[in-house]
Structure 1
Amino acid sequence: MTASRDNDGTPELDLALAAKVLDAQPFSRLLGARLTLFGDGAATIEVDIRPDLHQQNGFLHGGVLSYAADNALTFAGGTVLGAGVLTGGFSIQYLRPAAGRTLIARAQVLHGGRRQAVVRCDLSTVDDEGAEKLCAVAQGTILPVARG
C-alpha cells in the first residue's frame, strides 16, 4: 500500500491505512475495535459490547470506555498533526452506566496547532433498537512524536 506524504515527508493516513494502524495494536484486536471514520479532524471507533467486557454489575467496564476514548482522541488528533502522535493526557467523565450492543467513540479536534491538538470525545452506546445514549465524555491533548 502506498500512502501519500505530507509536507514533512511522513505518510498521510486515510481510513484504510489508519484502520491497519489500529489493528496493529494487540489490545485493539482483543476488544474487536473498528475505526469507522477518520479524517478532517475527526475519528470514530466502535466496539461490540460482549459479556466478557462487562464489570461485576453487568455494565460495560469503564476501562473499555477509557480505551475507546484514548484511541479515538489520538486518531482524531493524528488527522491534523500527522501519523506520529501520542496521547499527552486525557480526562473522562462517566455520565451513566454503559449498556447496549455497541460502543461508539466519536472524537473531534477542538483546536489543532503544530505542537498539539485538543480533542473531545463523546462515548455513546447503541441498543438493539438502534437508539443511542451518551454515557461518557472525554477530552485530551494529543502530541506529535519527535522524529529522529
Structure 2
Amino acid sequence: MTPSPALDLTAARHVLDSQPFSRLVGARVTAFGDGGATLEIDVREELHQQNGFLHGGVVSYAADNALTFAGGTVLGPHVLTGGFSIQYLRPATGRTLRARAEVVHAGRRRAVVRCDLSTVDGDGAETLCAVAEGTVLPVATP
C-alpha cells in the first residue's frame, strides 16, 4: 500500500489538530502512511473514570480516529468511519494510550481496518487493553 499523495504525517497532524475534541483530549498523530496510523494520548486525571482507569470513551475515541486515519492513507483525505466495534480486554492504566491501526483490506469504496490499543508505562512497556475493527468510507468533498 502506498500513502495517499494528498496526505503525509504533517498534513495528518494538521487534520487532527483541526478537531476541537482531539485538542481537548490532547491527541496526537505519531505515525501515518503505508496503510497505518498511530494516535497517542497522554493519560491525565481528567480523562479517568470513577475507578481511576482511563475512561472507555477516550479509548473508543482513539480507536475511531486511528481507524479512520489509517483508512485515509489508502482512500485519500476525505473519509469517515462507517462503523466499528471495540473489545475492552483490561482496564487502561499507564502514562500514554497508543492506538495503532492498520488497513486489513482496501477497495475503492471502503477499507477494513484493525486497531490495537495499548497503554505505555513509564519504562516504555506496552499493555494491550483493547482491540477494535471497523470500516472507513470515502466521502464526497464539499
Structure 1 counterpart SS, 2:108:
coil
| Counterpart check, 1:64 vs 2:58 | yes
Deviation track 1:53-75 (CA, whole Å, cap 9, x = no partner) reads 00000000000000000000000
How far has the Cα of 1:128 moved from its partner? 1.3
Please tell me whether Structure 1 or Structure 2 has the larger radius of gyration of its CA atoms. Answer: 1
The structure 1 residue matched to 2:38, chosen from 34, 44, 49, is: 44
Deviation for aligned residue 1:92: 0.2
What is the alpha-carbon distance in structure 2 between the residues aligned to residue 59 and residue 18 of structure 1? 28
Q: 3-state SS of the aligned residue for 1:20? A: helix
Displacement of 1:130 in angstroms is: 1.3
Instruction: Decide whether aligned partners of structure 1 residues 113 and 95 sit closer, same or farther in structure 2, where only a CA change above 3 A counts.
Output: same
**Residue 68 of structure 2 aligns to a residue in which SS?**
helix
Alignment correspondent of 1:112: 106
TM-score of the pair, normalised by structure 1: 0.92
Which residue number corresponds to residue 138 of structure 2? 144
Matches within 5 A, 1:1-148: 12-147=6-141
Residue identity in the other structure for 1:125? T
- Structure 2 CA distance for aligned equivalents of residues 44 and 23 of structure 1: 15
1:146 Cα deviation from its structure 2 partner: 2.3
Letter in 2 for 1:39: G
Extract structure 1 runs of 4+ deviating beyond 6 A: none
Aligned residues: 139
Unaligned runs of 5+ in 1: 1-5
Q: What secondary structure is seen at the aligned counterpart in 2 of 1:57?
A: coil
Distance 1:147 1:31 in 2: 27
Aligned to 1:3: none
Root mean square deviation of aligned Cα: 1.1
Q: Partner letter of residue 82 of structure 1? A: G
TM-score, normalised by the number of residues in structure 2: 0.95
